[in-house]
A and B are shown apart, each in its own frame.
Chain A
């Protein structure tokens, strides 16, 4: 299986802080890669650097065989990267529909695909013409994900989609992401909720201090409690 996205020796500085200190990893095509690690390890910065929102100061980022580390954010988005930022990043002044139209960019909304999305997130259909700002937190998160998948994308970057959501909504979200995965999407996802990560992930990357400290199959990490404790400092009991 080929790698859709590879990062080689990527460094990112934000102001005078050296956040990413030589990040190397690959995201295999058609798989879900989970990026785990404690707060401040550089997970969000990694996604933002791939997206061009914080430019890499050194290193190489290759998407589908082309270097993108010098590209602008809109350019990278137009190469087929969908980005779901942290914390319910919807356009609150616009309606649900308008948010999705923005996600589809220059194309018209595809009804079949919309029905598919409504299947996971019926609330979006119910509040189709409401202001996104008036939605609940979970509905905003659904809208944010729906906006990223309203058109097929090569690669989805998803930043902590389950953060702050009720368990029932987390379940719906996991089901949706599984379905997206079944359709052959490639996903790089940051996740603190180990349960969700284990459900979805094929491969796992663990970050600390701006570098990757562990890489392997999700199943191996899920089976090895000692390794989890060492890498993530968590015990599974509290997360099940």
Chain B
């Protein structure tokens, strides 16, 4: 329990679900070595971190921020620009991290100190404004960022797909630089999520929860809410930037669409709501469900549609046509909010919490 900071899933079904997801992620390179499956698995890892760090803000402090993708983008761009400018070396990755993470943290500090004093709605608007400005800046400063085209770069030798570490004869499958990158992403993501779990279960996390419930009472106990919220904002931003670094390392590309787009922010919001706010575990569940649905719903519907057509059913083939996948994703979202208003994790934990 030490590793989970004394905050176990507290629901057998949830524990099983988490173990299945983590086990699948560990085994992906063995079970599904294809490029698509690997991409989906990496995306789940990275978004689980990104969503968990957002959960620290939204779920544990009740602060709505729209700047989370900006911090994610800062991490991505920092490491990408460093690798692009300095060539594929570990020093470049190090430089990107050393520049990117503090930059995200300082920006979060500045935004926090300026705007966390004001009402929540203004904080949300300010983060939206800063994030939009950053997006414009990133696309305008094309000498640095590559503008709308973004930057493609190469990784150090060890992490390239062409680098065979252990060839097929040893285990029956090849372990190459790509596999290594995959595990790098997986391990760092896992560590970051465990670290966030530690943060929310620390005395600091309890103060955040107290502030979420009633900031005046927290102040009357002697807690300076602005500082606590600003710390939380800085931690969330730094973790988001770490997720950005992982994203850039995996894609070997960075551009506005993959790391700054507002649609990423919406995805994060959906995942945190589906998974369950204020739980951290919800991030893993939310990211898992959402990204699998996003990537495989179309395939699944294609199969279902042609099966329905073969069976000669009316209407169904049209309804299940792969082009309608966004409709079904939307319905899935509405259904999940309707049936699990506290998210999947909140729902699974409910009976136990009621008995306590």
With CB as the reference atom, state the residue of chain A lying closest to B353.
Answer: A131
Q: Are B214 and A74 in contact (CB under 8 A)?
A: no
User: Across the interface, which residues of B come within 8 angstroms of A105, CB to CB?
Assistant: 221-223
| Cα separation A51 to B218 with both chains bound (whole Å) | 12
CB–CB A78/B222 < 8 A: yes
User: Nearest chain-A residue to B354 (Cβ)?
Assistant: A134
Check B219 for interface membership: any CB of A closer than 8 A.
yes
Note all chain B residues with C-beta closer than 8 A to A101: 203, 206
A227 to B206, CA, bound (A): 48
Identify which of A91, A93, A101, A131 gathers the most chain B CB atoms within 10 Å of its CB: A91
Contact B220 A85 (CB under 8 A): yes
CB of A169 within 8 Å of the partner chain: no
Residues of A contacting B213 in the complex (Cβ-Cβ under 8 angstroms): 91-94
Looking at chain B, what size class is its interface with the partner chain?
Answer: 20 to 34
Where chain B touches its partner, the secondary structure class is helix
Closest to B355 in A: A134
* Cβ A89 vs Cβ B209 within 8 A: no
Which of A83, A102, A131 has a CB less than 8 Å from the CB of B356? A131
Q: How far is the CA of A94 from the CA of B219 in the complex (A)?
A: 16
Q: Fill in one digit per residue for A156-179: 1 if any B CB lies within 8 Å of its CB, else 0.
A: 000000000000000000000000
A178 CA / B219 CA spacing, docked (Å): 27
Residue B52 at the chain A interface, CB threshold 8 Å: no
Contact of A130 with B220 in the complex, beta carbons under 8 Å: no
Residues of B within 8 A of A103 (CB): 221
Residues of B within 8 A of A78 (CB): 222
> Which B residues are in CB contact (< 8 Å) with A74?
219, 222-225
Contacts of B203 in A (CB 8 A): 101
Produce 1/0 per residue, B323-356, CB < 8 A to A: 0000000000000000000000000000001001
Q: Does A3 sit at the interface, judged by CB under 8 A?
A: no
15 further A-B contacts with Cβ under 8 Å, apart from A78-B222, A91-B213, are A53-B220, A74-B219, A77-B221, A83-B220, A83-B221, A85-B220, A91-B214, A92-B213, A93-B213, A94-B213, A101-B206, A102-B206, A102-B210, A134-B356, A147-B221
Interface CB pairs A-B, < 8 A, 12 = A72-B219, A73-B220, A77-B219, A89-B214, A91-B209, A91-B217, A93-B209, A94-B206, A94-B213, A101-B206, A102-B218, A105-B221
Residues of B within 8 A of A (CB): 203, 206-207, 209-210, 212-214, 216-225, 353, 356
Report the 10 A-B pairs with minimum CB-CB distance, sorted nearest first: A77-B222, A73-B219, A83-B220, A74-B224, A78-B222, A91-B210, A74-B222, A91-B213, A98-B206, A74-B219
